[in-house]
A and B are shown apart, each in its own frame.
Chain A
Amino acid sequence: MLVQALIKPNTYFDSVSLMSLSTKANQIEEVEQAIIAMGTEMNKEVMKNVGLMTPEVETAGASDLIIVVKATTDELCETAFERINELFTKKNSGKKGKNDIKYSTISSAAGSNPEANLAIIAVNGAYAAREAKKALENDLHVMMFSDNVSVEDEIELKKLAHEKGLLMMGPDCGTAIIGNTALCFANAVRKGNIGIVGASGTGSQEVSVRIHEFGYGISQLIGTGGRDLKEEVGGIMMLDGIQALEDDEETKVIVVVSKPPAPSVEEKVLAKIKTCKKPVVVWFIGGNEEKITEAGAHFAKMSKEAALKAVLLAGADESKLNKRALNIPLIEEVRTKLTPEQKYIRGLFSGGTLADEAMHAAMEKFDNVYSNIQRNPEYRLKDRYTSQDHTFIDFGDDEYTQGKPHPMIDPSTRLERFIQEAKDPSVGVIVMDFVIGYGAHEDPVGAFLPAIIEAKQQAEQEGRHLEIIGYVLGTELDPQDYEEQINKLLAAEVTHASSMQNAGLLAREFVVKGE
């Protein structure tokens, strides 16, 4: 690959034009890579760092414009420069492209699209409540992706929605599938007759993809927002969601997904389920089986179990389902590879409910399980940068996302932590989720692959086996290539778990000593 540079002395273009030119230059067929920037010392340092330094760039001054092109041959570089020069001369003559229609207000959007019945609100938390109220007043269901909305506003909005017979999903609702359309972070699953109401985003995603894998599908997936089942909010949306699914003709079975609700809310939800005419499967992570079965619901301890019970209730023939049992010989094999010192699990998750599920699996066998999402304050991580014994981290939690996108989009924080954990000789297994689907990173496994390979090599040089379990949450219908994600894990000698439930159980079993 050849790198050539063109210097335009004392040439100034405004930043908007430069960005636009740079984007267009990178779209030229012959170009592997094109950079257009001012020739400052710092930018030259960057060029050097990324292998684009040339003698011409070296001599450029801070007021010179540098154009660097990477292509396979001299001729292609020349052609690219010609095209880029054309772009420079044409820069003012182009007409603006056609864009989607943009509306300034909810009311104008609703007025211009009378057939629309749902608004997604993803503005700053300070303004989200106001916009949601406008949407509800315009008779639109609302999915509110925004967080940092006050509880008072949430209650007011949910009461208003309830009065108007509308859904108020959120605040902080990241997952929904309405009318077979995935909204925000959701997976492409087939349409079916199982409805989900979830207060846990990735928990609902996990149940939906397991149902899909069992050959069934989703009628609706209604998100409530994580705070709905707290005492103050009282589960308004959960109750309305169950009612909506009960009224929905396409839904035959309902699955309720949440962390354990506040006791008074749990009572209300279970009372609602008791009167529901459709079968209901309840997966309250770490929830109480007795209370749930007393309400006439079907209790599920883990995600795959919830999906399995739902498909059986929807008419599946159990004998024909591949339930993907745990690989017992593999457990024995890994145990023999780990030294007595390699005692601990480190769970690094982008999905909060996925972290919770794996953590609960570990808590069944070990007392010393620490996390940033532990409900018992005694076992909450004292220092978010340092792991303790068995540690499970939800990187989507606010403390890890300050000023950064969610880890399902930006893997950098989790990646750094992975590198740190992989060096710890007391670690037996690292378990991680890789969420694909709408809204998620285009290649989550790929982002980790170099670090995984290096970590495994490093461990081997130090004479220890580093066991890594990877779980890809997704389906073959998702925009990313599901199979390719799995194949990348396998190629890096990562143990691929077929579900989050299996990932949690495998991690736990791998580090059990002396059984």
Chain B
Amino acid sequence: MINAISGDSDFIKEMNNSLFTGFVHSTFNRTLNIKCFESGDLFTIACRKLDNGPNTLIVNVDNMKSGKIEVNDRVRVVKNLLFIGDKLTISMDQINEWEGVLPSYPSNEEILKRNVKKMKDYINLHGVGGGMKKKIITENPFEAEVSNMLEKRTYFLMNELVANRISSALPHAVSLVGLGPGLTPSGDDFLTGLFTILNMKNSPLYPNKKLICEEVLRKAKTLTNDISYMTLKKAAIGKVRESLITLLNSLLIEDDEDLILSLNKLLNIGSSSGTDIAYGIVFGMEATIRAGGKVC
């Protein structure tokens, strides 16, 4: 038996308040995903090297491969114990509840503007190419075409968003879903970053977030894979990984070291996922700043 160290409050509630049964949907070195029969949602068990996130339990192991867990293994929760077949039992007796709360959009944008500029410079220099960040020399025509399409579609999306033409912006946002290499396609990661910003209270684009996020999500169901969809679904209501929230908090204060540390943690996610999310955040911030008073 192993211990859960921390867990998303929604996940814990789900397990405590109702029946929770399911099966192992997918396994990776550091995480495994469970599909819950009752809610139809995906939940993640992640090793201790990873950060907290929506629908995620962090457990006290270094990797998830040692227990020989396989796809389709049955999962059930009984009292404070989560069973994966007869291969692994996770105790939640010592769990710390984690709740990810996004900071509000600041009333004074000056520090934010400076930090967004620094962040953009930093990801342009240190981000991973191949998705939102164009590689100088692309490895193949597929990669080149993906980068071109991402560039064009985000350009049109920005134009419509800052002009407050939300209905025209939606098709461009939808056209990013499922676009790009990786388990979570670059377009999805970008939208995760954008959705995060749209969900910051007091932002000029906040009144439109419901319309944008819900509509994109509605279309996204069939346009991307289950894992990526779940991330988008949560981001659409402002539920994102701890590393994103930490970065947003860093963007609101004047502390360069803190900003770079937070940014490095984000950029380390996946292959190019962290970079693609970072571009989504920068895009969301720029759109919000440019929209300014026009939208409210």
**133-192 of chain B: CB within 8 A of chain A:** 134, 136-137, 139-142, 145-146, 149, 175-185, 187
Q: Does A109 contact B (CB under 8 A)?
A: no
Chain A residues, Cβ within 8 Å of B136: 405, 409-410, 441
- Decide if A14 touches B28 in the complex (CB within 8 Å): yes
Q: Which of A42, A403, A409 lies at the interface centre, i.e. has the most chain B CB atoms within 10 A of its CB?
A: A42
Residue B179 contacts which of A35, A43, A92, A126 (CB distance < 8 angstroms)? Answer: A43
**113-169 of chain A: CB within 8 A of chain B:** 122-127, 148
* Distance between Cα atoms of A442 and B272 in the complex (Å): 24
Against A, the Cβ 8 Å flags (1 = close, 0 = not) of B251-284 are 0000010001000000000111100000000000
Q: How far is the CB of B270 from chain A (nearest CB, A)?
A: 4
Chain B residues, Cβ within 8 Å of A124: 118, 121-122, 125-126, 260
* Distance between Cα atoms of A441 and B138 in the complex (Å): 12
- Decide if B179 touches A46 in the complex (CB within 8 Å): yes
Q: Does B56 contact A (CB under 8 A)?
A: no
Q: Does A366 contact B (CB under 8 A)?
A: no
Residue A62 contacts which of B124, B178, B181, B271 (CB distance < 8 angstroms)? Answer: B178
Q: How far is the CB of A437 from chain B (nearest CB, A)?
A: 15
**3-30 of chain A: CB within 8 A of chain B:** 12-16, 18-19, 22-23, 26
Q: How far is the CB of B141 from chain A (nearest CB, A)?
A: 4
Chain A residues, Cβ within 8 Å of B226: 63
Q: Does B76 contact A (CB under 8 A)?
A: no
Chain A residues, Cβ within 8 Å of B180: 37, 42-43
Chain A residues, Cβ within 8 Å of B118: 124, 126
- Decide if B179 touches A12 in the complex (CB within 8 Å): no
Q: How far is the CB of B263 from chain A (nearest CB, A)?
A: 10
- Decide if A42 touches B260 in the complex (CB within 8 Å): no
Residue tally, chain A, CB below 8 Å to B: 44
Q: How far is the CB of B150 from chain A (nearest CB, A)?
A: 10
Residue B29 contacts which of A14, A43, A126, A409 (CB distance < 8 angstroms)? Answer: A14
* Distance between Cα atoms of A410 and B180 in the complex (Å): 21
Closest chain A residue to B117 by CB distance?
Answer: A148
- Decide if B142 touches A127 in the complex (CB within 8 Å): no
Q: How far is the CB of A56 from chain B (nearest CB, A)?
A: 16
Q: Does A41 contact B (CB under 8 A)?
A: yes
Residue B185 contacts which of A23, A33, A40, A51 (CB distance < 8 angstroms)? Answer: A40
Residue B145 contacts which of A12, A50, A62, A148 (CB distance < 8 angstroms)? Answer: A50
Chain A residues, Cβ within 8 Å of B137: 442
Q: Does B7 contact A (CB under 8 A)?
A: no
- Decide if A18 touches B183 in the complex (CB within 8 Å): yes
Q: Does A233 contact B (CB under 8 A)?
A: no
Given A124-B122, A403-B124, does the pair A40, B142 have CB atoms closer than 8 Å? no
- Decide if B182 touches A40 in the complex (CB within 8 Å): no
Q: How far is the CB of B216 from chain A (nearest CB, A)?
A: 13
* Distance between Cα atoms of A62 and B183 in the complex (Å): 10
**9-26 of chain B: CB within 8 A of chain A:** 26
Chain B residues, Cβ within 8 Å of A63: 225-226
Task: Determine the main DSSP class of B at the interface with A.
Answer: loop
Q: How far is the CB of B225 from chain A (nearest CB, A)?
A: 4
Q: Does A452 contact B (CB under 8 A)?
A: no
Tier of interface size on chain B: 35 or more
- Decide if B225 touches A38 in the complex (CB within 8 Å): yes
- Decide if B179 touches A42 in the complex (CB within 8 Å): yes
Chain A residues, Cβ within 8 Å of B141: 33, 50-52
- Decide if A14 touches B149 in the complex (CB within 8 Å): no
Q: How far is the CB of A153 from chain B (nearest CB, A)?
A: 13
- Decide if A62 touches B222 in the complex (CB within 8 Å): yes
Q: How far is the CB of B132 from chain A (nearest CB, A)?
A: 10
* Distance between Cα atoms of A15 and B30 in the complex (Å): 12
Chain A residues, Cβ within 8 Å of B140: 26, 33-35
- Decide if A15 touches B184 in the complex (CB within 8 Å): yes
Against A, the Cβ 8 Å flags (1 = close, 0 = not) of B201-234 are 0000000000000000000001111110000000
- Decide if A18 touches B185 in the complex (CB within 8 Å): no
Closest chain B residue to A406 by CB distance?
Answer: B136
* Distance between Cα atoms of A14 and B137 in the complex (Å): 24
- Decide if B256 touches A43 in the complex (CB within 8 Å): no
Q: Does A49 contact B (CB under 8 A)?
A: yes
Chain A residues, Cβ within 8 Å of B177: 40, 42
Chain A residues, Cβ within 8 Å of B124: 403-405
**48-88 of chain A: CB within 8 A of chain B:** 49-52, 62-63
Residue B139 contacts which of A26, A50, A404 (CB distance < 8 angstroms)? Answer: A26
* Distance between Cα atoms of A319 and B180 in the complex (Å): 61
Closest chain B residue to A33 by CB distance?
Answer: B140
- Decide if B260 touches A127 in the complex (CB within 8 Å): yes
Q: Does A316 contact B (CB under 8 A)?
A: no
Q: Does B130 contact A (CB under 8 A)?
A: yes
Q: Which of A40, A45, A47 lies at the interface centre, i.e. has the most chain B CB atoms within 10 A of its CB?
A: A40
- Decide if A62 touches B227 in the complex (CB within 8 Å): no
* Distance between Cα atoms of A47 and B143 in the complex (Å): 10
Q: Does B113 contact A (CB under 8 A)?
A: no
Q: How far is the CB of B203 from chain A (nearest CB, A)?
A: 22
A-B contact pairs, 10 of them (CB 8 A): A15-B184, A16-B270, A16-B271, A34-B140, A40-B224, A42-B176, A43-B185, A52-B141, A92-B29, A127-B256
Please name 12 further chain A to chain B contacts, defined as beta carbons within 8 Å, in addition to the given A41-B222, A126-B121, sorted by A numbering.
A15-B270, A15-B271, A15-B272, A18-B181, A19-B130, A22-B139, A33-B140, A45-B179, A62-B222, A62-B224, A124-B122, A441-B136
A-B interface, 4 closest residue pairs, ranked by CB to CB distance from nearest: A40-B178, A42-B179, A15-B182, A15-B271
